[in-house]
Amino acid sequence: MKILIVLAHPELKSMNGAMFQKAIAALTTAGHEVKVSDLYRDQFNPVSDRGNFTTTYDEAFFKQQLEEMHAVESAGFAIDIEQEQQKVEWCDLMIWQFPLWWFTVPGILKGWVDRVFAMGRFYGNSRCYETGMLRGKKALLSLTTGGAGESYLKDGLHGDLEGILKPVHRGMLEFVGFSVLSPQVVYAPVRQPEEQRETVLNDWEERLSRIFGEEPMVVGRY
């Protein structure tokens, strides 16, 4: 199978870096094809503007969706965006590896979505959710939190994690057609002793060995 892993963390020696490297090793050893987008090491520019394109639809007024539609028709995406779009189109499974920052994905990952998930390429003309252009593909969020697990329950300090992640699961991934697998969550890794972190990584490897047999979760509408 074909897997794209997108890493959004500035430190490779972090738990996110370890999860990223464990996934690459485990999936490659199992015979899968793996491509990566290491956003910080790649110095990915998250700012969405005319730099997304090599073509121009309207010089006088910038409306991103119109420029995206025009770029689809004229092969007009900037090379860095085109490369990322091709990786997403190539994969059977996309994994995002990131720390939960301010109850969502880091800005560099949100900017990646802003620039890469283009109208006319991944959605549009009433093609979204169940009819999204990327239907048939699966997506998985693998993330770390700063707080302990009990903080992310319905009656916890921050509220339930399912609700926190819904804008990403529903509004980004399902919107363009992905089926969403249950997230892989590591709570407060900074507070874990070394042996516990090793267990976490081994559990991740074990899950990845059977990942293509998992059924998607039901996110539901707002």
Pick the catalytic residue: 76, 111, 123, 152?
Answer: 152
* DSSP track, the chain: -EEEEEE--S-TTSHHHHHHHHHHHHHHHTT-EEEEEETTTTT-----SGGGBSS-S-SSS--HHHHHHHHHHHT-B-HHHHHHHHHHHH-SEEEEEEE-BTTB--HHHHHHHHHHS-BTTTBBTTB-GGG-TTTT-EEEEEEEESS-GGGGSTTSSS--HHHHHHHHIIIIIGGGT-EEPPPEEEE-GGGS-HHHHHHHHHHHHHHHHTGGGPPPP-----
Pick the catalytic residue: 17, 107, 124, 146?
Answer: 146
What phi, psi does 60 have (nearest 5°)?
Answer: -85, -25
Q: d(Cα 93, Cα 139) in Å, to the nearest integer?
A: 6
158 given a catalytic annotation: yes
Distance of CA 73 to the CA centre of its chain: 26
152 given a catalytic annotation: yes
Work out the angle between the directed axes of helices 79-90 and 107-116 (0-180°, nearest 10). 90
| Residues involved in catalysis | 146, 152, 158
